[in-house]
Amino acid sequence: MTPGPHERTHHGPVVHDWAVVPLPGTDFDPVPHRLLHEEPVARVRLPHGEGHAWLVTRYEDVKLISADPRMSRALTVGRPLPSTTPHTLAPAGGVGRADPPEHTRLRRLIAPTFGRRRIAALREHTERRAQAFLLDLVETGPPTDIAESFIGPLSAAVVAELLGVPAADLDRVQTWRAGLLSHDTTADAGEAVKREIAGYFADLARHRADRPADDLISELAAARAAGELSGPELVSMAVMLTLNGLDAVRNIVATMVYVLLTHPDQTAKLRAEPGRLPRAVDELLRYIPQRNGVGMPRIATADIEVGGVTVRAGETVHVFYPAANRDPAVFTDPDRLDLARDGAPHLAFGHGAHYCAGARLARMEAEIMLGALLRRLPGLALAIPPERIAWRTGTVNRGPDTLPVTW
Ligand code: HEM
């Protein structure tokens, strides 16, 4: 592989240009892949923002950076740091961009909603919903775009209910989501969408403060009344959870279905032994590069040694979880899908204090959707050749635009 355009800075290594071009299917971005093998702590320039950042790709190094309390998210607020998108995705005041003690307080407020007990209770309900969706599909008959007829609407319904977003508002919220999660949205347009969505959730929270229901927005409104979080924090939390809940699961589960249908031998074994599904879901999470480019960076508050490099206080660091999941030091034959793989945990949900708040929910949804599809539609297959599937371009999360299937 040829190195991209690069230059030497006054004080150190080469700066690599990471253009972050959209890729089809599960193709792994060649830039972080090469860096993982050749320069696991490298300086990169990204399509947006100013200057360069460190990019950390090896499993142990990614864990070290993401668990180090000397790496700050709060310091990233309001700075034009190297980024994949022209506007900053995560709202200031949100969990993604807070440090302790604010971060700890915010995570505690949502922990019960995404905890073991509530998700277990939601499981049965989600299972019934999945069955109802599939009954409709079977009645209508193939082919169908399974991403839009099953995975998208089911995951949207689950998160909307958990949060307390009325079903009638989902279309509007989906439009804001598309605007925020597009690489083509300019900084100004991004701010305008953020204002709209913030206004929506502020209104909804006011409404629930007066008339509480059994949902997260009502709980957050009560916490706000008790002085446990501010108005802007409440809104940021709702926005962050909605965006993740609506987009991440739809895209990754649709990609999981694509991977299963393009690996028929392994999928046949999984069908024969459904008890292996949880492990298979984890392998799919490890294997699928779920996003274009990197998410939110961290800023070092002290000099930190990582992978033989000294990151200086004040410097920006990005970790790339999908690369860590392909680290040959941790995973044997890492670029190969092996649904029976057992071993080190993947980092698809991140690591450390910012570990995905919705991981348990996302896993549960993936298991239910894949399990239901494998069980109810034994003849499930792609309705068009895999190379003709259109993949989303210019978006943060990777996934198929449409996934036509038949059975
Ligand atoms: C399979 C789907 C999903 C994947 C792969 C995923 C992955 C991730 C990753 C990599 C992070 C960032 C870790 C970091 O900042 O270092 C994250 C954070 C987060 N995710 Fe997820 N996520 C998924 C689904 C969800 C869902 C369904 C929700 C909630 C409805 C959710 C809520 C969050 C929140 C709130 C954070 C920020 C946590 C914090 O900064 O403390 N995610 N997720």
Q: How far apart are the CA of 354 and the centre of ligand 1, in A?
A: 8
pLDDT in tens, 309-320: 999 999 999 999
Q: Above 60 in pLDDT, residue 1?
A: no
How many CB atoms within 10 Å of residue 262?
15
Strands 71-72 and 298-300: antiparallel
pLDDT value at 156 more than 80: yes
Ligand 1, atom 41: nearest CA belongs to which residue? 354
- Is there a cis peptide before residue 112, judged by omega within 30 degrees of 0? no
Interhelix angle 187-210/216-225, nearest 10 degrees: 80
Q: Which DSSP helix (H) or strand (E) runs through 222?
A: helix 216-225
- Which segments within 294-375 are labelled E, that is strand? 298-300, 304-306, 309-311, 316-319
Ligand 1, atom 27: closest residue by C-alpha:
245
Q: Which residue has the higher pLDDT, 168 or 187?
A: 168
More confident residue, 187 or 292: 292
Residue 152 CA from chain centroid, whole number: 15
Question: CB within 6 Å of ligand 1 — which residues?
Answer: 66, 95-96, 107, 159, 240-241, 244-245, 248-249, 252, 290, 295-296, 321, 348-350, 354, 356-358, 361-362
Cα separation, 248 vs 349, in Å, equals 11
Q: Which residue has the higher pLDDT, 177 or 224?
A: 224
Q: Whose CA is nearest to atom 20 of ligand 1?
A: 356
- CA–CA dist 369, 152 (Å, integer): 11
CATH of 6-406, one of 1.10.260.40, 1.20.1090.10, 1.10.630.10, 1.10.3720.10: 1.10.630.10
Instruction: Using the mean position of ligand 1's atoms as its centre, give its distance from the Cα of residue 143 in Å.
Output: 32
- Per-domain boundaries in the chain: 6-406
Quote the CA–CA distance of 176 and 195 in Å, as a whole number: 10
137 Cα to the center of ligand 1, angstroms: 30
β-sheet bridge partners, residue 171: none
89-139 pLDDT per residue, tens:
566 678 999 999 999 999 999 999 999 999 999 999 999 999 999 999 999
Percent of the chain with pLDDT over 90: 77
Q: What is the per-residue pLDDT for 213?
A: 94
pLDDT at position 290: 93
State yes or no: pLDDT of 141 exceeds 60: yes
- Ligand 1 atom nearest the C-alpha of 352 is 16
| % of the chain beyond a pLDDT of 70 | 95
Question: Is pLDDT of 5 > 90?
Answer: no
Q: 321-354, pLDDT tens digit by residue?
A: 999 999 999 999 999 999 999 999 999 999 999 9
Residue 2: predicted pLDDT:
40
What digits encode the pLDDT tens for the residues 255-285?
999 999 999 999 999 999 999 999 999 999 9
Helix (H, G, I), strand (E, B) or coil at 291: strand
Q: Which has the closest alpha carbon to 321: 359, 348, 292, 358?
A: 348
**In ligand 1, which atom is closest to the CA atom of 155?**
27
With both helix axes pointing from N to C terminus, report the angle between 152-163 and 216-225 in degrees, rounded to the nearest 10: 30
Closest by CA to 125, choosing from 157, 152, 153, 148, is 157
Q: Helices 102-114 and 116-140 sit at what angle, rounded to 10 degrees?
A: 50
